[in-house]
Chain A
Amino acid sequence: MIYQDSKTILEVRGLRANVNGVEILKGLDLTVKSGEIHAIMGPNGSGKSTFSKVLAGHSAYEVTGGTVLFEGKNLFELAPEERARAGVFLAFQYPIEIPGVANSQFLRLTYNTVQAERGKDELDPLEFDDYVREKMKLLEMNPDFLDRSVNEGFSGGEKKRNEILQMAMLEPKLAILDETDSGLDIDALRIVSNGVNHLANKDNAMVLVTHYQRLLNYIVPDYVHVMEAGRIIKTGGKELALELETRGYDWVSAESKAARLAA
C-alpha cells in the first residue's frame, strides 16, 4: 500500500552488474518505500533474478556501476550476512538443499543470529519450537518439516513455503521474492500468497520478481515494473500486469525504443 508518510527503504540508481564478464544490469533505477509492494516483470534473460542476487550480495555477480542505498546506507559496504541481519531478505527461486542439517536447527540459528543483531533475546530450543510452530500454522506446514534436513527432498511447493516461513520469522525490512510462484500449484500459490499478504505492513516493503500475472491475482502490487535488457523500461500500477498478460512484452519494448529515439 502507498502511504503518505512512508520512508525510502531502497534506492537504486544506475545499477550495472556483470556475470562472468557479461554485463546483465545496464543502469537500473528503482525506488521502494515502506509499505509498498513492487512487482518486477519481464521476459527471460532481462536481468530480474540477477537484480535480486546483486541486492543479496551473491559473489558471482560483480557490481560495476551505480549505487544502492538501503535505508540510506550504502548496501555494497555490507557483506551478504550483514545485509541479511540488517533486514534484506531474499526468497530463493531455487532454495538450496543442506543435507544433514535439521531444518529446526537451521531455522533457530538464523532466527537467533538476526535477533542478536537487533538486540533481542535469543530463544532456546524449546522456546523456539513453540515460536516456529506458531509461524508454521500461517503457512499450513506440517511440523514434520522441522525434523527433516533443510530443503532436502522437499517438493517445489514445500521449499517455497519454507522460504516464506523464514521470512515470517526474520521479519525483514525488505523482502525480495525471486519467482516464488514458479513451480507452485494453485493451493500452494494461495497458501504462499496468504503468508506474504499477512506479513506485509506499513514498515516493510516487498519486491516480487515474477514471470506471470497469476501471482498478482493473490498479492496485489502497488507498482508494476517491466524490465528489459538490464533496465526498467516501464512502470505502472497493478493494471499494467493485466495488460502484459494479454498483450505480451513486445509493445512495451517498442514503446520504450520509440521514446528513446524521440529523445
Chain B
Amino acid sequence: MSATLQNLVNQPYKHGFVTDIETDVAPKGLSEQTIRMISAKKNEPEWLLEFRLNAYRSWLKMEEPTWANVKYTEIDFQAISYYAAPKPKAKLKSMDEVDPELLRTFEKLGVPLHERAALAGVAVDVIFDSVSVATTYKEKLAEVGIIFCAMSEAVQHHPELVQKYLGSVVPVGDNFYAALNSAVFTDGSFCYIPKGVKCPMDLSTYFRINTQESGQFERTLIIAEEGASVSYLEGCTAPKFDTNQLHAAVVELIALDNADIKYSTVQNWYAGDENGVGGIYNFVTKRGLAKGVNSRISWTQVETGSAITWKYPSCVLLGENSVGEFYSVALTNHHQQADTGTKMIHIGKNTRSTIVSKGISAGHSNNSYRGLVKVTPTAAGARNYSQCDSMLIGDQSGAHTFPYIQVRNNTAKVEHEASTSKIGEDQLFYFAQRGIGAEAAVSMIINGFCKDVFQQLPLEFAVEATNLLSFKLEGSVG
C-alpha cells in the first residue's frame, strides 16, 4: 500500500493519558472471597450476592469461547484486579466535591461534569474504573419520574426494579463473559422510564478505564415501560498501557408495549500501538428484549477502538409487531481485530428487523461481521433485511462476513445483501486530479460509506463519529 494510505490510518490516540489519583484497588485474583468483598463494599442485599455467586459457579464450569475470528494469548483471570475505585475524600454532596483531578480528566475528554458546562440536553453518568463518579441532571429527570443513576445506587434505592429485571434478558449463565460480568460487575448505569414518558433529553454514560491491572465490568440496565421512549448514548476511552485490559460489560434493555429504546455507542477504547502491543479486550454482551407489542429496540454502534472486539448487540423480538434494528460501523487498523455483529431473534408475529453493518479494515487488521437472523415457528410474517458492506484500505487487511440465517416459519421474508469494496489508488488519483488531497478524499469516501449508520446517531454523536473516523484513518493512505 502506498505511503499516503498508510499515513492516513496511523494517528496517535489522544485519550491515552493516565489520571494520577489515589485509587483503591482490590488484590488481583478471582474467588468467592473477591465476590463477597465487592458485594460488601457496595453494601448489597443478600439476593444480589447470591446472584453473583450463582454466576461465578456457572462461570467456573464454562469454557472461554474460541469460535470468534480473533487471536490472542490466553487471559489469566487471576492476574486481573476486579475492583478499582478512586478513593473518595468523603461522601459527596454535590459535584463541587468531586475530586478536581477527576473533573479535569473528564473535561480533557470533552465530558464536562458540571451541569452548567455539560452538553445541553444530555444527562451524563460517568464511570471511572469500577465506580460511577457523577450523574448529571438526575433531579431534573426525577421530576418526570425517570430514574437515571449508577447501578450501585439503584441497588440501594430501587432494589425491587433491579431484582425484577437484572439478568432477565442476559441470564447469569448466558455465556462465558456474561457469567464473569454477573459475578463481578461493579457499576454501570440504570435507567427507568415510567409509563408513557418520553425522556426529555438524551441519557449518556461515559466509561473510562484508568487502572492498568484492573478490568472493567460494568452492567447497564434500561427499562422502558409501556409507551415510554428513550435515547441512550455511551462513550468509552482508556489510557495507553502496553498490557491488555479486559472490559467485559453486560447491557440489558427491556421495552414493554409500544416502548422505544435507542442505544448508541461510540467506542474508542485504546486499541494498542501500531505493532499491536496493549489495548483493551472488549468482550461485551448486549441484548435487548422487545417484550411488548409494537416495541422497538435500536442499536447503533461506532466501534473504532479496542485491540479485540467481541460484541453482538442483539434483539429478542417477543412482542407482536416489535422492531429490532442494528446499525454498525466497525473500523479496525494496525493489528486490531473485531468480530462483531448482531442477533435478531424473531418470536412474535409480524416482527421486523433491519441490520446495516459497515466494516472498514486498514493496516494489518481483521474485521469480521457475524450475525444471526433466527425466525422461530411462532413468528409468522417476520421480516428481516440485512446489508453487510466491507471496505478495505491497503492490501494487508482482512474483511470477513459470517451471516447465519435460520428460518422456521415459511411466511417469513429474509433478505441479505453484502458487498466488499476497496479504497483504491485510482479513486485517490481521481480526487487528487480534482485538487483534493488523500486525507480529505479518504474522509469523504468513508463518510459516504458509513452514511446510513451515521444518520441514525444523535447529532452531536454523528459529528463526533465522523471526526473520529477521519482522525483514526489519518495517515493511513498513501
Give residues in A with beta carbon < 8 Å to B: 56-60, 79-81, 84-85, 89-90, 92, 95-96, 98-102, 105-106, 109-110, 113-114, 117, 149, 166, 170
Contact = CB atoms under 8 A, between A and B. Distances in A.
Given A81-B436, A100-B451, A109-B436, 10 more contacts: A60-B425, A80-B432, A98-B445, A100-B445, A102-B448, A105-B448, A106-B444, A109-B444, A110-B431, A110-B435
Interface string B400-438: 000000000000000000000100011101111111110
Contacts of A100: 445, 448-449, 451
Contacts of B433: 56-57, 80-81, 84, 89-90, 92
Given A96-B427, A109-B440, A84 B432 contact: yes
Contacts of B23: none
Contact of A95 (B421, B430, B449): B430
Contacts of A149: 448
B2 A113 contact: no
17 contacts: A56-B433, A57-B433, A58-B429, A59-B429, A60-B425, A80-B429, A84-B433, A84-B434, A89-B433, A95-B430, A98-B427, A100-B445, A100-B451, A109-B436, A110-B434, A113-B434, A113-B440
B220 to A, nearest CB: 32
B419 to A, nearest CB: 8
A79 B433 CA distance: 10
Contacts of B448: 98-102, 105, 149
B434 A57 contact: no
A95 B429 CA distance: 11
A226 B436 CA distance: 33
B436 A92 contact: no
Contacts of A89: 433
Contact of A98 (B430, B432, B435): B430
Contacts of A113: 434-436, 440
A90 B434 CA distance: 9
Contacts of A56: 429, 433
- Overall SS of chain B's interface: helix
Contacts of A101: 444-445, 448
Contacts of A79: 432
A110 B425 CA distance: 18
B437 A81 contact: yes
Nearest to A90: B433
B2 to A, nearest CB: 7
A195 to B, nearest CB: 17
A-B CB proximity, top 9 nearest: A100-B448, A110-B434, A80-B432, A101-B448, A96-B430, A84-B435, A113-B435, A81-B432, A85-B435
A248 to B, nearest CB: 33
A166 B434 contact: yes
B430 A92 contact: yes
Contacts of A106: 434, 444
Contacts of B434: 84, 106, 110, 113-114, 166, 170
A119 B442 CA distance: 25
B430 A114 contact: no
A13 to B, nearest CB: 23
A215 B429 CA distance: 26
A99 B2 CA distance: 21
B421 A99 contact: yes
A50 B471 CA distance: 35
B2 A59 contact: yes
Contacts of B437: 81
Nearest to B478: A59
